[in-house]
Amino acid sequence: MLLASLIGSFGAVFLKMGADQLGGSFKSILNVKLGIGIALFLGSSVPFIMGLKRGELSVLYPMVSLGYVWTLFWSRLFFGEPITRAKLGALAMILAGIICIGAGGR
Protein backbone atom coordinates (compact mmCIF):
# COMPACT_ATOMS: atom_id res chain seq x y z
CA MET A 1 0.00 0.00 0.00
CA LEU A 2 2.92 2.30 0.70
CA LEU A 3 4.21 1.79 -2.83
CA ALA A 4 0.75 2.28 -4.32
CA SER A 5 0.29 5.57 -2.47
CA LEU A 6 3.75 6.76 -3.53
CA ILE A 7 3.15 5.97 -7.20
CA GLY A 8 -0.31 7.55 -7.07
CA SER A 9 1.07 10.73 -5.51
CA PHE A 10 3.53 11.10 -8.38
CA GLY A 11 0.55 10.63 -10.69
CA ALA A 12 -1.03 13.71 -9.08
CA VAL A 13 2.19 15.69 -9.62
CA PHE A 14 2.27 14.85 -13.31
CA LEU A 15 -1.44 15.60 -13.70
CA LYS A 16 -0.79 19.05 -12.23
CA MET A 17 2.17 19.60 -14.55
CA GLY A 18 0.09 18.48 -17.52
CA ALA A 19 -2.87 20.63 -16.48
CA ASP A 20 -0.59 23.67 -16.36
CA GLN A 21 0.14 23.09 -20.07
CA LEU A 22 -3.51 22.96 -21.11
CA GLY A 23 -4.61 25.47 -23.68
CA GLY A 24 -7.92 26.25 -25.25
CA SER A 25 -7.93 23.41 -27.76
CA PHE A 26 -8.95 19.79 -27.29
CA LYS A 27 -5.58 18.71 -28.70
CA SER A 28 -3.80 20.26 -25.70
CA ILE A 29 -5.31 17.55 -23.51
CA LEU A 30 -3.02 15.05 -25.23
CA ASN A 31 0.20 16.24 -23.61
CA VAL A 32 2.88 13.88 -22.32
CA LYS A 33 2.73 14.92 -18.68
CA LEU A 34 -1.00 14.25 -18.48
CA GLY A 35 -0.38 10.86 -20.06
CA ILE A 36 2.33 10.04 -17.51
CA GLY A 37 0.03 11.11 -14.67
CA ILE A 38 -2.76 8.86 -15.90
CA ALA A 39 -0.32 5.97 -16.39
CA LEU A 40 1.03 6.40 -12.85
CA PHE A 41 -2.46 6.41 -11.38
CA LEU A 42 -3.30 3.24 -13.29
CA GLY A 43 0.08 1.73 -12.40
CA SER A 44 -0.53 2.36 -8.70
CA SER A 45 -3.40 -0.11 -8.85
CA VAL A 46 -0.98 -3.03 -9.36
CA PRO A 47 0.68 -2.89 -5.90
CA PHE A 48 -2.71 -1.91 -4.45
CA ILE A 49 -4.32 -5.09 -5.75
CA MET A 50 -1.36 -7.17 -4.58
CA GLY A 51 -1.79 -5.69 -1.11
CA LEU A 52 -5.51 -6.38 -1.09
CA LYS A 53 -4.85 -10.02 -1.87
CA ARG A 54 -2.91 -10.39 1.38
CA GLY A 55 -4.84 -8.18 3.79
CA GLU A 56 -8.13 -6.78 5.02
CA LEU A 57 -9.81 -4.15 2.85
CA SER A 58 -11.00 -2.19 5.91
CA VAL A 59 -7.41 -1.85 7.11
CA LEU A 60 -5.57 -1.45 3.81
CA TYR A 61 -7.86 0.93 1.93
CA PRO A 62 -7.43 3.82 4.40
CA MET A 63 -3.69 3.55 3.77
CA VAL A 64 -4.35 4.97 0.32
CA SER A 65 -4.67 8.30 2.13
CA LEU A 66 -0.89 8.19 2.53
CA GLY A 67 -0.95 9.61 -0.99
CA TYR A 68 -2.10 12.91 0.56
CA VAL A 69 0.95 12.87 2.80
CA TRP A 70 3.33 12.33 -0.11
CA THR A 71 1.50 14.91 -2.22
CA LEU A 72 1.97 17.57 0.45
CA PHE A 73 5.74 17.18 0.20
CA TRP A 74 5.80 16.88 -3.61
CA SER A 75 3.70 20.05 -3.87
CA ARG A 76 6.33 21.91 -1.89
CA LEU A 77 9.24 20.38 -3.80
CA PHE A 78 7.92 20.69 -7.36
CA PHE A 79 5.55 23.68 -7.17
CA GLY A 80 6.85 25.71 -4.21
CA GLU A 81 3.51 25.48 -2.41
CA PRO A 82 3.67 26.44 1.26
CA ILE A 83 3.39 23.87 4.05
CA THR A 84 1.19 25.65 6.58
CA ARG A 85 0.28 24.77 10.16
CA ALA A 86 -3.17 23.75 8.97
CA LYS A 87 -1.66 21.35 6.44
CA LEU A 88 0.66 19.89 9.08
CA GLY A 89 -2.31 19.45 11.41
CA ALA A 90 -4.25 17.66 8.70
CA LEU A 91 -1.20 15.52 7.99
CA ALA A 92 -1.01 14.55 11.66
CA MET A 93 -4.70 13.58 11.67
CA ILE A 94 -4.29 11.45 8.55
CA LEU A 95 -1.30 9.65 10.04
CA ALA A 96 -3.10 9.17 13.39
CA GLY A 97 -6.09 7.71 11.59
CA ILE A 98 -3.95 5.30 9.62
CA ILE A 99 -2.19 4.17 12.81
CA CYS A 100 -5.51 3.68 14.64
CA ILE A 101 -7.06 1.72 11.79
CA GLY A 102 -3.89 -0.36 11.35
CA ALA A 103 -3.81 -1.18 15.06
CA GLY A 104 -7.48 -2.21 14.91
CA GLY A 105 -6.73 -4.76 12.21
CA ARG A 106 -4.64 -6.94 14.48
Q: Do the Cβ atoms of 22 and 28 come closer than 8 Å?
A: yes
pLDDT of residue 34: 92
pLDDT digits (tens, 9 = 90+) for 13-31: 999 999 888 877 767 778 8
Domain that holds residue 89: 2-104
Selection from 14, 26, 8, 4 nearest residue 78 by Cα: 14
pTM, two decimals, is 0.81
Q: With H, G, I as helix, E, B as strand and everything else as coil, classify residue 81.
A: coil
pLDDT digits (tens, 9 = 90+) for 53-78: 988 888 888 888 888 899 999 999 99
**Residue 24 phi/psi, 5° resolution?**
-85, -10
pLDDT of residue 105: 59
Structural domains counted in the chain: 1
pLDDT: which is higher, 79 or 30: 79
Q: Do the Cβ atoms of 105 and 56 come closer than 8 Å?
A: yes
d(CA 21, CA 25): 11
pLDDT digits (tens, 9 = 90+) for 36-52: 999 999 999 999 999 88
pLDDT of residue 25: 73
pLDDT of residue 106: 59
